[in-house]
Amino acid sequence: MNVAEPASALRRGWALWLPLALFAGFFALVMVGLYKPADREVASAFIGKPLPQFDLRPATQGRPGLAFAKFTDGKPRLLNVFASWCVPCAAEAPQLAQLAASGTEIDGIAIRDRPEDVAAFLQRNGNPFAAIGADDVSAVQLAIGSSGVPETFVIDGKGVIRHQHIGDIRAEDVPVLLAKLRAAGS
Amino acid sequence: MRRLLVIVLLIFAAPLGAQDLLPPAPYANRQLDNPALEAKAQALMETLRCLKCQSQSIADSDAPMAGDMRSQVRQRIAAGQDPEAIRGWLVERYGDYVTYAPRMSALTWPLFAAPLGLLALAAVLLRRRFKRVGSA
């Protein structure tokens, strides 16, 4: 038992610092969490999978509704999930207009929206959409793994989801989306 | 007087938020008529995460999207779908994040293995200690 004495003393000295070390570790963890909060966006796990079968009524006058069949004509396009009641959806309008002007076909899905509100929204912010389907109970939104508005999906010519952009499209996102569209077309 | 008027006006002002004006989905806030099916749906809804308000389950949340998810869950249960199949359908779209009941996977197996490992370690340590006491 005498032989073990120095070793246990040594261990006790080390144990003395353990609470401080634990506290330092905990403090570091809290600071990291404060300054670099975790990503709270829920990315779709449905990339690389085909769109589900759906057929949505027109969300407003002047544009047709949206059905799955449209996405299998061989041409890649953007699918924009938006709503008139969503503020960032208005913020991305110039970028959508720019994409539409560059020859990209953009189809929209309006989430839980009234026709008159969609019309007013398009009146205010411009209308880059070829077709707009009304998703009154978020059914298509849930079926493609979208967790909010706005979100933009790159769909290839066979109706397969190739890319998801979460949140409003900023100026710097436009080249990324164009590149993804090109990649989906090849 | 003017201040009072402002206060009264504020009380009756409709809050302008990022909310839609559509009525909720058919089964968002309405229970299924069959109590057994409703219980099944409720149990499932309590373990599905609301994607808009991520520390609430869809059973707890007032977000319109959570209402739409509740309606889907109830309608699928009423149509005879298995709760775990519905959970699987959502996990396929949103990943494991959408469920509060963790499943065993390549990423999550340590969650299940760690307690067993700790128990085994404790058993080994205790056995050694008892042996030492026994031999002394």
| Chain A with chain B: Cβ pairs closer than 8 A | 66
* Cβ separation B68–A139 shorter than 8 A: yes
Give burial (CB, 10 Å; 0-12/13-18/19+) of B47: middle
Q: In what order do the strands lie in the sheet with A106-111?
A: A129-135, A106-111, A77-82, A151-155, A161-166
The beta-carbon neighbor of B93 closest among A44, A114, A138 is A44
Cβ neighbours of B126 (radius 10 Å) = 10
Does the pTM of the predicted model rise above 0.90? no
A19 lies in a domain? yes
| Integer Cα distance of A109 and B52 in angstroms | 18
Measure in Å the smallest separation between the Cα of B93 and chain A Cα atoms. 4
Q: What does the buried/exposed string (b/e) look like for B56-93 if buried means 16 or more CB atoms within 10 Å of the residue's CB?
A: ebbbebebbbbbbbbbbbbbbbbeeeebeebbebbbeb
A46 lies in a domain? no
- Asked if A18 and A76 sit in the same domain, the reply is no
In sequence order, what are the residues at sequence separation of 6 or more whose Cβ sits closer than 8 angstroms to the Cβ of residue B114?
Answer: none
Mutation for testing the B interface, residue in A89, A112, A113 having most B CBs under 10 Å: A112
A117 lies in a domain? yes
Structural domain including A31 reads 2-35
* Cβ separation A42–B98 shorter than 8 A: yes
- Per DSSP, B81 falls in state -
Transcribe A42-82 into DSSP letters.
Answer: ---S-TTSBPPP-EE-BSSTTS--EEGGGGGSS--EEEEEE
User: pLDDT tens digits, chain A, 186 residues: what are they?
Assistant: 445 556 666 677 788 899 999 999 999 999 999 998 877 888 899 999 999 999 999 999 999 999 999 999 999 999 999 999 999 999 999 999 999 999 999 999 999 999 999 999 999 999 999 999 999 999 999 999 999 999 999 999 999 999 999 999 999 999 999 999 999 987
* Cβ separation B54–A44 shorter than 8 A: no
Mutation for testing the B interface, residue in A56, A111, A142, A146 having most B CBs under 10 Å: A142
- Asked if A23 and A72 sit in the same domain, the reply is no
| Integer Cα distance of A81 and A83 in angstroms | 7
* Cβ separation B95–A148 shorter than 8 A: no
- Asked if A16 and A80 sit in the same domain, the reply is no
In sequence order, what are the residues at sequence separation of 6 or more whose Cβ sits closer than 8 angstroms to the Cβ of residue A66?
Answer: A54, A55, A56, A107, A108, A109, A131, A132, A133
Helices B35-45 & B83-94, crossing angle to 10 degrees? Answer: 30
A146 lies in a domain? yes
- Per DSSP, B56 falls in state S
Measured between beta carbons, the chain B residues lying within 8 angstroms of A46 are: 92-93
In three-state secondary structure terms, A161 is: strand
| Integer Cα distance of A92 and A167 in angstroms | 9
A50 lies in a domain? no
B16 confidence band (pLDDT: 50, 70, 90): very low
How many structural domains comprise chain A?
2
- Asked if A16 and A73 sit in the same domain, the reply is no
- Asked if A132 and A59 sit in the same domain, the reply is yes
- Asked if A17 and A79 sit in the same domain, the reply is no
In sequence order, what are the residues at sequence separation of 6 or more whose Cβ sits closer than 8 angstroms to the Cβ of residue A140?
Answer: A52, A54, A56, A109, A133
Residues A105-123 have pLDDT tens digits of 999 999 999 999 999 999 9
* Cβ separation A45–B65 shorter than 8 A: no
Cβ neighbours of A99 (radius 10 Å) = 23
Measure in Å the smallest separation between the Cα of B99 and chain A Cα atoms. 12
* Residues belonging to chain A with any Cβ–Cβ distance to chain B shorter than 8 Å: 40, 42-46, 83, 85-87, 111-114, 117, 136-139, 141-145, 147-148
Question: Which amino acid, B19?
Answer: Q
